[in-house]
Structure 1
Amino acid sequence: MLLRRLSHHELATLLLLLHAPIDAQAKPELFALKDAGLVEQVPGNAAAGAAQIRLTPEGKAVLQGLGVAR
């Protein structure tokens, strides 16, 4: 359960992640979202070599609650 309000930057980051994983270093909000359990780090592809961040089921549930994800 989310115990705090998300900033507009954090919500925007979740919306970006709804469509595709992003680079783990792309946005400073990722640390707070990871601590909240809304995103997770996964290995990147071999060409890029960098880790990627994607939504967790809890992160997707937040977006579903806002009516922007199915």
Structure 2
Amino acid sequence: MNHPDPNTIGAPAPAKRPTILRRLLSHHELATLLLLLHAPIDASAKPEIPQLREAGLIESIADDAGVSRIRLTSEGNAVLRGLGVK
């Protein structure tokens, strides 16, 4: 029979570290993030755009001509930093 550790009784549970990603990124999604690292791309350029937008890693912006472009969010940049890219 296991007995609880008397040193942890009544102690708050350790806080879970918040994570950005709820799932692993595919190699295509990672490649798209790497493309966006250097410059915004056309919103229709890659099929991974909707999944990355849903994950909060990219966002839409309009350039001076009103053309919709995609760029990394701060969360997307954090993912790349975590991979040692930035």
TM normalised by structure 1 equals 0.92
CA displacement at 1:45 relative to structure 2: 2.8
What is the match of residue 18 of structure 1? 37
Gaps of 5+ in 1: none
RMSD: 0.8
Give the drift of 1:60.
Answer: 0.2
Structure number with the higher helix fraction is 1
Instruction: Give the TM-score of the pair, scaled to structure 2.
Output: 0.75
Which has the bigger relative contact order, CA under 8 A and spacing at least 6?
1
* Residue 30 (structure 1) aligned with residue 39 (structure 2): no
* Unmatched runs of 5 consecutive residues or more in structure 2: 1-19
Identity %: 67
Match of 2:75 among 55, 58, 69: 58
Runs of 4+ in 1 over 6 A off after TM superposition: none
Q: Which of structures 1 and 2 has the bigger CA Rg?
A: 2
